[in-house]
Amino acid sequence: MKSDELRALFLSFFEKKGHKILPGISLVPTDPSLLLTGAGVVPFRGIIEGRERATYKRVATCQRCVRTNDIEKVGLTSRHLTFFEMLGNFSFGDYYKKESLSWGWEFLVDVLHLPKEKLWVSVYEKDEEARKIWLEDIGIAPEHLVSLGKEDNFWGPVGATGACGPSSEIYYDFGEDVGCGSPDCKPGCDCDRFIELWNHVFTEFFLDENGELHPLPRKNIDTGMGLERLAAAVQGGKNCFDADVFQPILHYVEEMAGKEVAVPRKRIIADHIRAGVFLIADGVLPSNEGRGYVLRRILRRAEVQGILSGLPQLFLHRLVPVVVRVMKGGYPYLVDYQDFILEEIKREEERFQQTLNIGLSLLEDMLSSSKFLNGEDVFRLYDTYGFPLELTLELARERGAEVDIEGFKQALEKQRERARLAVEQEKLPPIYSILAQNLPSSEFIGYDNLKSEAEVIALIKEGEKVEELEGEGEILLDRTPFYAEKGGQVADKGHLRFPNGEALIKDVQMVGSLIVHKAEVKGILKNGMKVEAIVDEERRKAIQRHHTATHLLHAALKRVLGPFVNQAGSYVGPDRLRFDFSWTRALNQEELLKIEEIVNAKIMEDIKVEISFHPLKEALEMGAVALFGEKYGEIVRVVRIGDFSIELCAGCHTSSTGEIGLFKILEESSIGAGLRRIEGVCGFSALNYLRNLEDTLKNSAWLLQGSIWEVPQRLENILERLKTLEEEKMELERKLALKDMESLISKVKEIKGVKVLTEKVEGMSREGLKELADSLIEKLKNGIVLLGTTASQDSVIFVCKITPDVLERGIQADKLVRETAKLVGGGGGGSPLFAQAGGKNPEKLEEALDFALQLLENTLT
């Protein structure tokens, strides 16, 4: 039975048990506290913790996941993976322990026909209810049940606070031959014999900031079963790498190597390439921060294993088609993204080769000077230059050098501690969870109405619920025309009117299912009071223009650059739009003009913007673009602009494209590796931009004493004249330098047999100073020349040149000029033979040159 069949069987089984089958979410979660989707429960955390209401009481999913907390164990054990698929069934206040455990056993034994004697279970040591269900209701053999402590059988919370509860796990016995050999080996042992297949979590508590457990409003079921582990058990394997989803990848690794590859290394490569493929398919690109850094680390770790295994350079991208072929049954979209993923991984491999060359040079310097590599230095190679520890260890071993592993670990832990301290998650007051459980969901009516009657259903001040509000606070209404900030679109502003008072709405945010209006109240607003909610109409219209324009821009980018361009973020405000997208190079002027023309052509066509609602699956089949990281319900809102653009979007839009007026690109720039940004304006913002541009041009024309059309030519004439003057200045400097040459040579000193000149030269540019230094060195044949000049009232320039023979005497130009520049409040650098520096204290120039002379007297050997 193949993994594709197992996935389908699981979902079908739970669909028959009354579960709604939902698609897995992106590996880029909407939860800002999470870097990546690491469990099937991620999209349901708000429901389980009581912050959101459940659309369905019973749900089942297959969720793609990435975890890197145990990345160092991948390949060394049979059970650790970075990428895996998690099969899960969930209950939100519906069924509980008995049904969850009974159905789990039914699926494994009656549907998949796994032998009962191979299955073991564990329960939390204080959970007598689960123990009783296993022994009395299901009838498992008592010797196949073990009780474990909190570390093994009490799950959560994900963060410092949150939902948690006891769990019960089903284990599969892979046989004594893969175990530790202990007669007491059983679930809970750290060997590879008993592997957890299915974890059933009973989330019934909430852990608060003080470490105290509180009962949740309803009890929930959250289960997770690794598809790869299940496949290994069903297919008769000994570990998850024996599953059908790994075998073709492992075989191709050895085919490329032309020999057997060490088991841990080929497992790491196979696991990491799967993670890389799925992360890139979900919009993550290699970078030095956040998710991009996780991806880069995974890909480079796989690359290192290939290098150590003797695989050819740039081998990793060649595995992409194999992964796509294996996984396309469950993830058919991978086929469309294959070429893009392959190119991105190849590009990252090429970057890594450059990094390796730098790291190898630095490591060679370290190994040449010592047979002991300091942990701090090894960590600097690893952290600053991205040079893998595994390569450092291997190369050090070949050279007979010792590596301070303990020092490396200490440096790594210090960095991790700094990172932990730097990332403090924002904690919402618990009042929101309470209100979400006791209040109906706020109704948003602002697509069609910018003014409406509403009733105040809750008031909050400083995190506490109040009955009256005056001054700053938060207001909840039963219905509202105010759009809450989400999906890149900013919140509406406006005001509420009520008897003898008014509330200025400054911001609107979604908190779970609640729409929270942040306001300044003039007068006294009471709970239950009727109000008139009024949105700032002109501001909303400006936002709508920019939002519809982002859809046109997204579609235009796909037309010009290709279908693999994906949105990576956006800002839609009344003043401008910002659109971030995945792309690996700067757009040229021709491309930008083409994109701008396409968008404006669609605006002039005045195409109707159509809004409709569809089941998610149907909308995707229609061709609607779903954005990575967004969370969608079963029924989605589709925004269609003719046959040009169709996207899933909950934002506010114009009724036709003609209302946008004009679209103008302001800037295109890089915001990180593989990410670009376009900023633009529409409507009156575009008009204001053009007016400001026109004013600037008119002022420039006035200064140049011509018309606006003559500005480019007159500027060109001025630049040409400046170039001529600069050339004349340089020629004059050359003549002055030759005139001063004999005078300067007469000031040459000899220190320990080396000719040295450290002098101040007046009225020289940097280029003139460099030419003079070249001429002096040529005249001296050997020695050291350090020249300084005052470039302006507050700046100094140094140029230093030395002959190669002086290097052997312990002097380097870059080090000399750097130390000299410190005295004038500056710095510099260059090569051992030639260097430059600057400073900001001209009054100390001569003192600095005297210092340099003294330094040479003390340093020359």
Q: What angle do CA 219, 221, 222 make, to 5 degrees?
A: 135
* CA dist 430 → 462, 475, 505 (Å): 12, 16, 23
Closest Cα partner for 570 from 734, 723, 680, 470?
680
List the Cα angle 603/609/615 in 5-degree steps: 145
Give helix 263-281 / helix 320-327 axis angle, nearest 10°: 70
Cα–Cα distances in angstroms (integers) from residue 45 to residues 29, 59, 205, 221, 532, in the given order: 11, 13, 13, 12, 34
Q: How many CB atoms lie within 10 A of CB 72?
A: 10
CB 124 within 8 A of CB 132: no
Q: Classify each residue of 744-770 as buried b or exposed e, where b means 16 or more C-beta atoms within 10 Å of its C-beta.
A: beeebeebeebbbbbbebeebeeebbb
Which pLDDT value is given to residue 154? 93
Q: How far apart are CA 165 and CA 123, in angstroms?
A: 12
The phi, psi pair for 796, rounded to 5°, reads: -130, 145
790 CB-side CA count, 13 A: 10
Dist. CA 261–CA 319, nearest whole Å: 15
763 touches 791 (CB < 8 A): no
- How far the first Cα of the chain sits from its last, in Å, is 77
CA angle 277–83–579, rounded 5-degree value: 50
CA distances 854 to 397, 685, 807, 816, 847, Å, are 44, 63, 18, 11, 11
Question: What Rg, from alpha-carbon coordinates, does the chain have?
Answer: 34
**Dist. CA 361–CA 12, nearest whole Å:** 57
pLDDT confidence of residue 338: 92
Please tell me what DSSP assigns to residue 311.
Answer: P
Centre a 10 Å sphere on the Cβ of residue 814 and count the other Cβ atoms it contains. Answer: 18
DSSP string, 489-529: BPPP-EEEEETTEEEEEEEEEEETTEEEEEEEEEEEEETT-
Secondary structure letter of residue 108 according to DSSP: I
Q: Residue 800, SS3? A: strand
- Angstrom distance (rounded) from CA 577 to CA 677: 10
Q: 53, 90 in Cβ contact below 8 A?
A: no
Q: Is 599 helix (H, G, I), strand (E, B) or coil?
A: helix
DSSP structural state of residue 483 = P
pLDDT of amino acid 425: 37
Contact 654, 548 (CB under 8 A): yes
CA nearest to 627, candidates 513, 550, 546, 545: 550
Q: What's the confidence (pLDDT) of residue 360? A: 80
Q: Within 13 A of 836's CA, how many CA atoms are on the CB side?
A: 12
Token pair listed for 222: 């959250």
Residue 88, both tokens:
């899960």
Q: Are the C-beta atoms of 455 and 529 separated by less than 8 Å?
A: yes
Check residue 342 and give left, alpha or beta (phi > 0: left; psi -120 to 50: alpha).
alpha
Whether residue 226 contacts residue 85, with contact meaning beta carbons closer than 8 Å, is answered with yes
Residue type, position 247, single letter = Q
At which residue do the structure tokens 């100073």 appear?
Answer: 769
Looking at residue 1, the DSSP 8-state letter turns out to be: -
Helix, strand or coil for residue 339?
helix
CA distances in angstroms from 282 to 275, 326, 340, listed in the order given? 11, 18, 12
Report pLDDT digits (tens) over 461-508. Answer: 988 899 999 999 999 999 999 999 998 999 999 999 999 899 999 999
Number of residues that this document lists for the chain: 861
DSSP H helix total and E strand total for the chain: 24, 33
pLDDT at 418: 67
Enter the tokens of residue 858: 């003390």
Q: What is the DSSP-derived secondary structure letter of residue 530?
A: E
Q: Give the span between the Cα atoms of 267 and 250, in whole angstroms.
A: 7
| CA atoms of 275 and 259, how far apart (whole Å) | 25
d(CA 732, CA 738): 10
Show the tokens assigned to 65: 């996941």
Distance CA 118, CA 137 (A): 19
Q: How confident is the model at residue 429, as a pLDDT? A: 63
SS3 589: helix
Mean pLDDT for back-to-back runs of 10 residues, the chain (861 residues)? 96 96 89 86 85 88 93 86 96 95 97 95 95 95 94 80 89 90 87 93 87 86 96 94 96 93 94 96 84 90 89 93 96 90 92 83 84 89 80 84 90 75 49 77 90 95 92 95 94 95 95 89 94 96 97 95 85 95 89 97 97 85 70 79 94 96 94 84 94 91 90 91 85 71 86 91 83 88 91 89 88 91 90 91 92 90 78
- Containing 735, the helix (H) or strand (E) segment is helix 711-745
pLDDT value for 422: 47
How far apart, in Å, are the Cα atoms of 368 and each of 360, 361, 812, 833? 12, 11, 19, 22
Task: Give the CA distances from residue 190 to residues 184, 209, 254, 781, in Å, rounded to whole numbers and listed in that order.
Answer: 12, 32, 29, 71
- Residue 203's contacts (CB-CB under 8 Å, 6 or more residues apart) are 48, 155, 156, 163, 164, 165, 216, 219, 220, 221, 222
Q: φ and ψ at 514, to 5 degrees?
A: -95, 140
Say what the pLDDT of residue 654 is.
Answer: 97
Q: What confidence score (pLDDT) does residue 426 get?
A: 42
CB 278 within 8 A of CB 66: yes
Whether 632 and 616 have beta carbons less than 8 Å apart is answered as yes
- Confidence at residue 666, expressed as pLDDT on a 0 to 100 scale: 95
Q: Give φ, ψ of 183 to 5 degrees.
A: -65, -20
The string of pLDDT tens digits covering residues 75-132 is 888 889 999 999 999 999 999 999 999 999 999 999 999 999 999 999 999 999 999 9
